[in-house]
Amino acid sequence: MRAVKLAEWVVSIADAPTEVKRSAVLVVLDALACSLAGLKLEGPAAARAVTRELWGAGPSSVWFTGEKTSPHGAAFANSMAVSILDYDDGHRMAEGHLGAAMVPAVLAEAEVIRANAKRVLTAIAIGYEVATRIAKSRDPETVLTGASGRWCGQGVAAAIGWLRQDDAITIAHAMSLADTIAPYAMATEDTQVGNHVKEAIPDGTKNGLEKLAAARKGMLGPIDFLDRERFDSSVLTRDLADGWYIETTYFKPYSCCRWIHAPIDAVLQQRDSVMDWDAVKEIVVGTFERTLTLNNQKKPSTLQSAQYSVPFCVASAALYGAGCLQPITPGLLGDAKVLALAEKVVVKVDEDLESVYPDETSGRVSIVMSDHASPEPVYVEIAKGDSRNPMSYDERLRKLRKCGAEVLDERGLSRLEEALVFLRDQREIEPLFRCLAATT
């Protein structure tokens, strides 16, 4: 059975290659940055309140709050903070997000069993690999939901199963149980209402941990779940000759849906060519068809709605530059200039871009002026943050510092940066655990 073969691959890993573990460090850095940005928002605050009520006290840190709860509760609450602003990493092959699941889950469990840096980083890489394989192996014609919560828990079960040195059969049952009970999040696919469920990543994360615990106690799942025709076996059992999936993770310089990033990059390149945005007649955004399934509200009322609006994000970047989306703040929602320019944004399918999706999530922007010559259209093939157009380490640290500015003081930020250096050098992870457990 394919699930057993996949689990056998998991337990065969003794240690991920050095470059793979370095990629996992970048994933940890980014997840912590995103969690700091989202920490004080309503969704994460509600998740922490639920965690206190349902799970109580425990050994795992609710990051940067001084609170501790069970690994399940910590993973749930921290995942919500990471994912709430849509600032978290993802993978084109999975068409979804992984860091918001794997990092909170692995760190929550590692804090309990005191796993070392090498094992933590390897576990995260394994979770990425398994989750991406399962997501990519699905037949697009039969996929009912694109929500990451549908498949991230299976990767969590594999990662934590490896970390706890479970056998392949236990991990296979855990993955199958997680798949069977995974959230579909169907209501969020076409909703026009901003909400905190989004892709149900926190629920999928918690589900993976719960189902591994159940499998370890003897609960059996349908471990032939990957044997259906709708799953591509060549993806599930691929070798690693072309590298691990975590090595081609994309990271986000803007806190909005990845499909909007190429158009944002394009309009940023055109800012110096437009002296008067009031004189703009139309901004035409060429994209692939899936982008039209976003809410694309021109007057979003919540941060969650804004994250999925091409007109709003493109107009914001045009007027105020990249900084206003790093991350999006509530004050931008009522900005009269942004709302007026968003009304002039037209989103259209570009057949050239549609033909290369999902391998590429490119964008094209044409600005049409009402009273003088229009600037040349700009085409962006590979958005900033892709592994082929990566953010530098300094850019990643700037993201961390900006996200953490209202949560940590300078001493706290410096300690966190130092702890990440220790992790990067695979010397120790205890300094990071101390940072996560600290009260802001």
Contact 48, 104 (CB under 8 A): no
The answer as to whether 440 is a domain residue is no
Q: Looking at the structure, do residues 52 and 128 belong to the same domain, yes or no?
A: yes
Going by their DSSP bridges, the two strands 378-380 and 363-369 should be labelled as antiparallel
Domain boundary among 188, 218, 248: 248
Q: State the total domains in the chain.
A: 2
Domain boundary among 380, 408, 427: 380
Q: Looking at the structure, do residues 298 and 271 belong to the same domain, yes or no?
A: yes
CA distance 70 to 60: 6
Of 39, 27, 69, the closest CA to residue 406 belongs to 39
The answer as to whether 360 is a domain residue is yes
Domain boundary among 182, 213, 248: 248
pLDDT value at position 197?
Answer: 79
Q: Looking at the structure, do residues 342 and 227 belong to the same domain, yes or no?
A: no
The answer as to whether 439 is a domain residue is no
Packing angle, helices 18-38 and 393-404, rounded to 10: 30
Q: Looking at the structure, do residues 284 and 197 belong to the same domain, yes or no?
A: no
Of 264, 258, 253, 263, the closest CA to residue 402 belongs to 253
Alpha helices in 292-409 (DSSP H): 303-307, 310-320, 336-342, 351-354, 393-404
Q: Tell me 356's DSSP state.
A: T
pLDDT value at position 196?
Answer: 83
Q: Looking at the structure, do residues 104 and 231 belong to the same domain, yes or no?
A: yes
The answer as to whether 75 is a domain residue is yes
Q: Looking at the structure, do residues 41 and 105 belong to the same domain, yes or no?
A: yes
Burial of 437 per CB tally in 10 Å (0-12, 13-18, 19+) = middle
Alpha helices in 114-218 (DSSP H): 117-137, 152-163, 168-181, 201-216
Q: Looking at the structure, do residues 90 and 122 belong to the same domain, yes or no?
A: yes
CA distance 71 to 201: 16
The answer as to whether 270 is a domain residue is yes
The answer as to whether 393 is a domain residue is no
Residue-level pLDDT, tens digit, the chain, 440 residues: 999 999 999 999 999 999 999 999 999 999 999 999 999 999 999 999 999 999 999 999 999 999 999 999 999 999 999 999 999 999 999 989 999 999 999 999 999 999 999 999 999 999 999 999 999 999 877 776 678 999 999 999 999 999 999 999 999 999 999 999 988 755 555 556 667 878 899 999 999 999 999 999 999 999 999 998 889 999 998 887 779 999 999 999 999 999 999 999 999 999 999 989 999 999 999 999 999 999 999 999 999 999 999 999 999 999 999 999 999 999 999 999 999 999 999 999 999 999 999 889 999 999 999 988 899 999 999 999 999 999 999 999 999 999 999 999 999 999 999 999 999 998 899 999 999 999 87
Q: Looking at the structure, do residues 240 and 312 belong to the same domain, yes or no?
A: no
Q: Quote the domain boundaries for residue 212.
A: 2-248
Q: Looking at the structure, do residues 96 and 202 belong to the same domain, yes or no?
A: yes
Q: Looking at the structure, do residues 177 and 48 belong to the same domain, yes or no?
A: yes
The answer as to whether 295 is a domain residue is yes
| Contacts (Cβ under 8 Å, ≥6 apart) of 36 | 64, 81, 400, 403, 404, 407, 408
The answer as to whether 416 is a domain residue is no
Sequence length of the chain is: 440
Q: Looking at the structure, do residues 296 and 241 belong to the same domain, yes or no?
A: no
CATH code (residue 58): 1.10.4100.10
CATH code (residue 321): 3.30.1330.120
Q: Looking at the structure, do residues 114 and 36 belong to the same domain, yes or no?
A: yes
Of 304, 293, 257, the closest CA to residue 80 belongs to 304
